[in-house]
Chains A and B, each alone.
Chain A
Amino acid sequence: MTLGKALYYFAREALLNLFRSWKTSLLAVTTIAVSLFIGGFFLMLAANASRLIEDWKSEAMVVVYFAPTTDLNEVDAARSLAGSPAWVEGVDEVTAPQARERFRASFPSVATLVEGWEEEPLPASLEVSFDPLLVEDHAFEAWLGELEELPEVELVDDDRDWVDQLELALQLVLGLGLALGAVLLGAAILTIASVIRLTAILYQDEIDVMRLVGATEFYLRGPFYVEGLWQGLLGGLVALGALFGGFVAVQPMAEGSLLLGTMGTTFLAWPQQVLLVGVGAVAGLLGAIFSLRREAI
C-alpha cells in the first residue's frame, strides 16, 4: 500500500473510532482544548500588552515640573539644558493653564478637582521627547540629575523606569501563563494516552484477529496514532474558536474601557494560531505514541 493510501485508511479508521467512542474522545479533546485555551489566552494578552508597552516606550518623555509659581519667562537655563543632549527630539512647554485644561479634558468626571482654585493647581512643565535608541544610560542619568538640581525645578519625571518594570512584570505573567499551559498540556497528553489505551483495549479482539490474518504493526497502530492526532487537532481548533469567541465577546466592553480600549484590540497573529493548533496536534500524537509504546497492543 502506498503511504498516501495508508494515511487515508488510518485517517478514516481513526475518525470512525473517534465517533464510535465519542465520550472518551470528548474528554481528550476538552482537556487539550482547555490547556491550549489558557496558553493562547496568555499569548494574546502578552502580544497586546507588549504592543502597548512598545507604544509607551516610543512615546517616552521626560517631564520637568517647575515649582508652582515659576514664571516660564525665567526658565531659560532649564530650557537650554533640557534641549541640549543629542537624544532630545523636542521640548514642549506646558503652561499652568494648559496643564489644567488638559486635565479637564482627559478626566472629565473629576474635572472639579482643578476648578475653583485661586492659584493654578497644576505646575507648568517642559515635556522633553527623546529617541530611546540614542539614549546613553550614564549620560542620561547625569543629565536628569542636573535638571533636578536647578532651583526652579521641583521634579523630573522619567517614564522609562516604570515602563521597564511593567515589561518585566508582563514577561513574568506570560512565563507563568505559559508554564500553566504547559503543565495542563502535559496532563492533556496523559489523558489522550489513556483514552487511546482504552480504545485499544476495547478493540483488542479485533486487533488480535487483524494481526492473525497478516496485518503489520504499522497498520495496526497507524489508526491509533492518527486518532491522537485528530484529538489534538480538534482540541487546538476548539481552543482557537473559544479564544476568538471570547475575543469578539469582550471587544465591545474593551472599547469602552480606558485600559482595555488601548490594549485588547488584536487577536492572535496567524502564525500564533497555527502554532496553537500545531501544538495540539503534536500533543495528541505524543499521547498516542506514549500509550502504544512497547508491546502495548
Chain B
Amino acid sequence: MISFFDVTKRFPGGQVALDRVSFEIGAGEFVFLTGPSGAGKTTLLSLILRQDLPTHGRILVNGRNVVSLPRTKIPFLRRSIGVVFQDFRLIPRKTVFENVTYLPRILGLGSEKQRTLGYETLRRVGLAHKANAFPLELSGGEQQRVAIARALVNDPAILVADEPTGNLDEDLSDEIFELFREIHLRGTTVIVATHDRDRIRRAGQRVLVLHGGRLVRDGDAPVENSELEPVLSRGENGG
C-alpha cells in the first residue's frame, strides 16, 4: 500500500529531515510512527500526501509512483488518503456537515447522497447531532472527531494522522484511538504519528521509530516500555 525505497529529504536550508528511509506498509495494516520532535515524522507523512517531493528515492502509494505523479493527478492521490492533523484544521466558517461533505460536494454527488453520506459518516464518529453546529462551538475532542469524519467521508484506502491527540487529554485520546481501531478493523490502512509511548506499548501494533531522520526501528511494539525509552528519551516535550 505504501512503500519507501531509500528516501532522503533534504530541505533547501540543508537540514536532512529523512535519511535513506525504506519500509513497506501492506494494505490494512495499522502502523505507529514515532520518534522525538524533529525526527522527520511530519516530513514523512507530507511525502505520502505529495505535499513535498523527496530529494532522493522512490515512493509508491496505493500503486502510484508519487514522485513522478503529474501535478494535475495529485488531487486524485489525495482523495484516496484521509488526513487528520493535530490542530484539526476545520473550516470555522462552515458547519460541521459542510466540513465533512466538502469532498463529496466538489466530486459532484447529489445533495441527497451528500446528506446520507455526511450523516452516516458523522454517526460513525458519534456526532450526527452536531451536524449544524460550527466547529468552534465544539470541544477539542469533538472537533477532532469531525476532522476524522472528513477524512473518512470518501472511504479512503489510507488514513494518515499526524499527532492527532497532541491537543487532547487522556480520555479524549482514548476515544480518538478507539475510532482509529474501528477504522482499521473495517480494512483501512492506518498510519498514526504519535508521542504517546504508553499507548504504542499497549496497542501492540507495528511501530516505525524515526530519529534524526533515520529509521532506527521497524517492528512490533516493544513489550517493555524501557525498550522504547532509549530512542525516545530526547522527545520528552513533544513536537
Contacts and interface: CB of A to CB of B under 8 A. Distances in A.
Contact of B91 (A1, A20, A209, A214): A209
Nearest to A215: B106
B83 A213 contact: yes
B106 A1 contact: yes
Interface in A212-232: 212-216, 219
Contact of B76 (A9, A20, A214, A219): A214
A212 B83 contact: yes
A212 B52 CA distance: 12
A92 interface: no
B226 interface: no
A213 B102 CA distance: 9
A210 B102 contact: yes
A2 B102 CA distance: 16
Q: Determine the main DSSP class of B at the interface with A.
A: helix
Interface in A165-218: 205-206, 209-216
Contact of A5 (B51, B77, B108): B108
A20 B93 contact: yes
Interface residues on B, range: 20 to 34
A212 B102 CA distance: 12
A212 B108 contact: no
A141 to B, nearest CB: 71
Contacts of A9: 105-106
Interface in B64-97: 72, 75-79, 83, 89, 91, 93
A211 B52 CA distance: 13
A154 B202 CA distance: 120
Nearest to B107: A1
Interface string B34-55: 0000000000000001010000
A9 B79 CA distance: 19
Interface residues of A, number: 18
Contact of B108 (A2, A205, A206): A2
A2 B51 CA distance: 27
Q: Determine the main DSSP class of A at the interface with B.
A: helix
Interface string A40-65: 00000000000000000000000000
B150 interface: yes
Contacts of A20: 93
Contact of A213 (B76, B93, B108, B150): B150
Nearest to B88: A209
Contacts of B91: 206, 209
B78 A213 contact: yes
Nearest to B91: A206
A215 B83 CA distance: 13
Interface string B140-163: 000000000011001000000000
Interface string B96-129: 0000001101111000000000000000000000
Contacts of A213: 78-79, 83, 102-103, 150-151
Contacts of B93: 16, 20
Nearest to A5: B108
A216 B102 CA distance: 12
Contacts of B103: 213-215
B89 A205 contact: yes
Given A9-B105, A212-B49, A213-B103, 9 more contacts: A1-B106, A1-B107, A20-B93, A205-B89, A210-B102, A212-B83, A213-B78, A215-B103, A216-B106
Interface of B: 49, 51, 72, 75-79, 83, 89, 91, 93, 102-103, 105-108, 150-151, 154
**9 pairs of A and B residues whose beta carbons are closest in the complex:** A1-B108, A214-B79, A214-B78, A216-B75, A214-B75, A219-B106, A209-B89, A206-B91, A213-B103
28 contacts: A1-B106, A2-B108, A6-B108, A9-B105, A20-B93, A205-B89, A209-B89, A209-B91, A210-B102, A211-B75, A211-B78, A212-B49, A212-B51, A212-B78, A212-B83, A213-B83, A213-B150, A214-B75, A214-B76, A214-B77, A214-B103, A214-B154, A215-B75, A215-B103, A215-B106, A216-B75, A216-B106, A219-B106
Interface of A: 1-2, 5-6, 9, 16, 20, 205-206, 209-216, 219
